[in-house]
Structure 1
Amino acid sequence: MTTPTEPPVPPGRPAPTRPGRKLGPVADNVGSVHRAWLDPMRTAYQASGLTLNELSSRVRFAKSKISELLRGVGLYPRWEIVYRLADELGMPNWPLYRLWSQAALETHKSSDWINGCTDRTTLTATHTNPPLEHRAFRELVENDYTLYAQVFLDDDQRDNAIDATFNRLWLSWNEALADHDTRRYAWNVLRETVMARAPHRDGRPELGNAAFDTVILQNLTDPAAYANELTETLELFTAISRLPDRQLDVIVLRRLCGFSHGAASALLGTSLATIRSDERHATRFLDSVIPPPRTEGTTP
């Protein structure tokens, strides 16, 4: 993987101050897919300098309704209000619509309900292209992101997670460019999106499905050898899942995806020294919990 060219960092500006009560936090029961579009909308609102009263008068929705939407309180919002808020806040509506509709399905809204929210021409999301820099970045990293995601997710979930990652990045692209390292910002979005969909046990992501895709297992035909190798592989993957987040990512990229140190460094937006240090610490932990295989003639 080629190290991406560092994008220009626009000068930072303090967020405008506004009178009145501050926007409350997102409700605890809001899911990660819902937050994928809600968090960028909250950021756009906070950067706009508008008060809820001003926003209410512009979009012609009650202030209480807008406040509920921006906190994820109450019923899942219809597309009309989301669309009008996005239009007023200058957000691209196509990636927003894709994330909104995906979250609607996950809140058990039917396709008929979704289509019923968007059957008016004036409220239809316009299929537009993302910024050129976003498209170039996606072309550069999408295959690598897919390799990482498929360690934790099945094919359908993997594709949905990758699509959601780049839609979310599109919504927050200005923030990504303004970050100290756009690659690290984007990786954090990918990781959060994948981990929200991955099965977990005891608070840690499971890698069990990836064990069945290892090259060694695919090449074994003897049932006894396969069972023995599978047991050892599952033990290893369980140990990998217990690693701290950063070490986990490095080991997944290095051992399961086959990335070089340089490629992992470029993908994570992390120095080579950090990658090597994380790998050493992770390897030391894995060696401490996975005993080396016994050779014939040795006693337990």
Structure 2
Amino acid sequence: MMAAPTPKTRRANAPGPGHAPVEDAGRERLVLTFDAFHDYHRELWMRYAHTQVGGRPAAETVVDTACARLKRDWKHALAQESVPRYAWSLLKEEIHRWLAERGLQPLLAGTAAFHAAITKLLRHGTRDEFTVLEGELGLYGAIADLPERQYDVIVLRFVLGEDEENVAEYLGIELATVRSQVRHARRRLARGLDMAIEPTETEG
């Protein structure tokens, strides 16, 4: 027959004073930090997803799924070198999954934001290539062929109109990296379209 636990044993097995409140406070902090991150990033994520999947309902589905994954992994995310970069990778994975399930490619060329941005990207609004649909689609194809980091920077910077500081913050990269990616992307696009480009202020 087992002996009844002594008061000393009971004290050893019981949670220490304040144990549950400490755990509750830790969980609450995680929730608060996630909510703040989510509120700050969601609008931009929605705008970016919209350029890729072509409609707000689809964008909401993709972003909601990415946010749910991020919330489940939030503690792990906080341990990463860059939380925004880790979160962005989850968003991109969900976008790629959504498109792949439907056999689609990113729908950037069909969005109003793309058509509003094409002349600004290479700063040649008077060139014939930018006044006809063929020119727009040619630029879209060239953008689509950019390396992934350059593609994201170009879409955020020129199509969605974010400034360089915001692009750096949303992607979790250095401001100098954003400027470098824009520089390389513009030169690559110009080569692909056989065009000269005008230098930007940061390149001049």
User: TM-score, structure 2 length as denominator?
Assistant: 0.68
Tell me the alpha carbon deviations over residues 178-228 of structure 1, each in whole angstroms, 9 at most, x when there is no partner. Answer: 11111111111111111222369xx974533226862389xxxxxxx9x95
Query: Which ranges in structure 1 are unaligned for 5 or more consecutive residues?
Result: 1-129, 218-224, 294-300
Distance 1:197 1:135, change over 3 A: same
Quick check: 1:236 aligned with 2:136?
no
Quick check: 1:157 aligned with 2:58?
yes
Match of 2:45 in 1: 145
| Partner SS for 2:60 | helix
Quick check: 1:169 aligned with 2:70?
yes
Quick check: 1:197 aligned with 2:91?
no
| Partner SS for 1:151 | helix
Measure the CA separation in 1 of the matches of 2:117 and 2:173.
31
Tell me the alpha carbon deviations over residues 221-270 of structure 1, each in whole angstroms, 9 at most, x when there is no partner. Answer: xxxx9x95322111111110100110110001011000111000000000
Match of 1:35 in 2: none
In the alignment, which of 157, 169, 186 is matched to residue 283 of structure 1? Answer: 186
- Percent identity over the alignment? 32
Spell out the pairing of 1:1-300 with structure 2 (5 A cutoff): 131-153=31-53, 154-198=55-99, 205-210=106-111, 214-215=115-116, 228-292=131-195
Measure the CA separation in 2 of the matches of 1:273 and 1:183.
17
Measure the CA separation in 1 of the matches of 2:44 and 2:90.
14
Measure the CA separation in 2 of the matches of 1:135 and 1:246.
26
Q: Is the 8 A contact 2:117 2:158 kept in 1?
A: no
Match of 1:73 in 2: none
Tell me the number of residue pairs that the alignment of Structure 1 and Structure 2 aligns.
155
Measure the CA separation in 2 of the matches of 1:251 and 1:145.
15
| Partner SS for 2:52 | coil
Per the TM alignment, residue 140 of structure 1 is displaced from its structure 2 partner at its CA by 0.5
Task: Please identify runs of 4+ aligned residues in structure 1 that moved more than 6 A.
Answer: none
User: Which of the pair has more CA radius of gyration?
Assistant: 2
Per the TM alignment, residue 292 of structure 1 is displaced from its structure 2 partner at its CA by 3.6
Measure the CA separation in 2 of the matches of 1:240 and 1:213.
11
Distance 1:229 1:198, change over 3 A: farther
Q: Is the 8 A contact 2:164 2:175 kept in 1?
A: yes
Letter of the 1:184 counterpart: R
Measure the CA separation in 2 of the matches of 1:268 and 1:278.
12
Query: Which ranges in structure 2 are unaligned for 5 or more consecutive residues?
Result: 1-29, 119-127, 197-204
Letter of the 1:134 counterpart: F
Measure the CA separation in 2 of the matches of 1:136 and 1:216.
30
Query: Which has the larger helix fraction?
Result: 2
Match of 1:36 in 2: none
Tell me the alpha carbon deviations over residues 115-145 of structure 1, each in whole angstroms, 9 at most, x when there is no partner. Answer: xxxxxxxxxxxxxxx8111111111111111
